[in-house]
Amino acid sequence: MKISTDRERSCPVTATLSVIGGRWKPIIIYTLSNGSKRFGQLAAFIPGISRKVLTDQLKELERDGLVLREEFKETPPRVEYSLTKKGASLGPVLLAMCEWGQEHLMNRAIEEKVLV
């Protein structure tokens, strides 16, 4: 279990990044914002992520209350992942990051053309 530091308790940005930071968590949350997914569907939607890393990230997101893991008593067994209300509340944050990223990529492309 991770122990919070004083900085995480006092800085809202640090607190947010401690929960959704990293390479894969924002992408997992974004993918689940379009509805529940099974593990294989998530793996297919996120190229480049290993099954182990996906498993670990989902467990962390579940622990932090952002993702719900639901097991269905069927044959074969089925598990679906979805966003909790808390996880869904990150939608505007991820949208703002997406918009900023698009503008950044566009500006970088323009700058590279100018420099060539």
- Phi (first) and psi of residue 90, to 5 degrees: -80, -5
Q: Which fold has domain 6-115?
A: Arc Repressor Mutant, subunit A (1.10.10)
User: What is the per-residue pLDDT for 111?
Assistant: 84
What residue segments make up the domains of the chain, in order of their start?
6-115
Per residue in 9-24, pLDDT (tens digit) is 688 888 888 899 989 9
What is the pLDDT at residue 53? 97
Sole residue written with tokens 């505007």: 92
Of 115 and 18, which is predicted with more confidence? 18
CA distances from 38 to 31, 60, 97 (A): 11, 17, 25
Q: Which residue has the tokens 């279990």?
A: 1
CA atoms within 13 A on the CB side of 57: 20
Cα angle at 36 between 81 and 20, to 5 degrees?
Answer: 60
